[in-house]
Amino acid sequence: MKVARAHPLWLAYLLHRLSGLGLAVFLPLHFWVLSYALNDAAKLDAFLTLTEMPLVKAAEFGLVFLLAVHFFGGLRLIALEWLPWSAPQKTWAAAAVAGSFLVSTTFLLQAI
């Protein structure tokens, strides 16, 4: 039997896990590219020209979204477990996602 789970806290949990995995995949690549700043500045500059491509801009938006959603999701989790809250948990889960959208969309609008 298919199990029904789509309530706000479970979705917030899923989003936090997936964004964490996404960031875990991204970070090694990020440091690898940053290492060119020390070893081969010309190669870094050549790579950075890629960031003008619309597809890369969109990917950057995704990245900032992952970061924002993971950051706010983490704050939500810390608050939920360390502060004796009860009823407003759902509201905070929604606020975390809304805040993430705000930050990442602001970034997108500045980028394009």
Partner 1 sequence: MPQRDHLTVTVQRGGPDAPMRPQTFEVPAYDNQTVLDVVSWIQQNADPTLTYRFACRVGMCGSCAMMVNGVPRWTCRTHVNKVLDGNAIEVGPLRNLPVIKDLAADMDPFFDKWVTAEGRHHPTRTRQEEIAPVDPQAEERQAASAGIECINCSVCYSACDTVAGNPDYLGPAALQRAWTLYNDAKDADRDAILDAVSGKGGCHSCHSMGSCTAYCPNELDPLSAIAGLKRATAKRFFGGRK
Task: List residues near partner 1 by CB under 8 A.
Answer: 1-5, 7-10, 13, 77, 80-82, 84-86, 89
Q: Which residue has the tokens 């964004």?
A: 19
Please state, in angstroms and rounded to a whole number, the distance separating the CA atoms of residues 86 and 47.
48
Q: DSSP state, 4?
A: P
Nearer to partner 1, 31 or 82 (CB): 82
Report, in Å, the least distance between residue 102 CB and partner 1: 23
Q: For partner 1, give the closer residue by CB, 12 or 67.
A: 12
* CA–CA dist 17, 112 (Å, integer): 29
> What is the nearest approach in angstroms of partner 1 to the Cβ of residue 4?
4
Q: Considering beta carbons, is residue 47 or 85 the nearer one to partner 1?
A: 85
Closest approach, Cβ 103 to partner 1, in A, equals 23
Q: How far apart are CA 83 and CA 64, in angstroms?
A: 28
Residue nearer to partner 1 on the CB measure, 24 or 55: 24
Residues 6+ apart with CB under 8 A from 111: 57, 60, 61
Task: Give the single-character DSSP code of 85.
Answer: -
Smallest gap from residue 96 Cβ to partner 1 (A): 13
